[in-house]
Amino acid sequence: MIVLRDCGSAGVFGEAYWFPLLFYRRGRKMKLLIADDELYMAEYIQKLVDWRDYGFDQVFVANGGSMARDILQDFVPELLITDIKMPRISGLDLSAFIDEKKYPTKVIIISGYSDFGYARQALHYGVSEYLVKPVLKGDLVETLERILQKNFVLEEKKEKDKICLAGDKSALISYVKNYIYENFDQNLSLDVLGEVVHLHPAYLSKIFKEVTNMNLSAYITDIRMQKAAELLEQTELKVHEVMELIGYRKSQYFSRLFKERFGVTPVEYRRTVKKDLSNV
pLDDT at 55: 85
For 2-158, CATH gives 3.40.50.2300
Q: What is the pLDDT of residues 176-190, one digit of tens each?
A: 999 998 888 888 999
pLDDT at 42: 94
* Mean pLDDT, range 226-251, rounded to an integer: 90
pLDDT at 58: 93
pLDDT surpassing 90 at residue 273: no
CB distance 30 to 55 below 8 Å? yes
Q: What is the pLDDT of residues 127-182, one digit of tens each?
A: 878 888 889 999 999 998 888 877 755 555 555 555 455 457 888 898 899 999 88
State the pLDDT confidence band at 23, using cuts at 50, 70 and 90: very low
- What integer best gives the mean pLDDT of the chain? 81
State the pLDDT confidence band at 91, using cuts at 50, 70 and 90: very high
State the pLDDT confidence band at 26, using cuts at 50, 70 and 90: very low
The ranges assigned to domains in the chain are 2-158, 169-278
Output the CA–CA distances (angstroms, integers) from residue 136 to 40, 107, 108, in the order listed.
15, 17, 14
- Rounded Cα distance between 80 and 56, Å, is 12
From the list 6, 109, 96, the residue with the least C-alpha distance to 50 is: 6
pLDDT surpassing 90 at residue 31: yes
Range of lowest pLDDT (21-30, 58-67, 166-175): 21-30
State the pLDDT confidence band at 9, using cuts at 50, 70 and 90: very low
pLDDT at 199: 86
User: At residue 95, what are phi and psi to the nearest 5 degrees?
Assistant: -65, -40
- Rounded Cα distance between 36 and 246, Å, is 54
- Rounded Cα distance between 154 and 156, Å, is 5
pLDDT surpassing 50 at residue 15: no
H or E element in which residue 83 lies: strand 79-83
pLDDT surpassing 50 at residue 195: yes
Name the superfamily (CATH) of residues 169-278.
Homeodomain-like (1.10.10.60)
The burial class, CB within 10 Å (0-12 / 13-18 / 19+), for 237 is middle
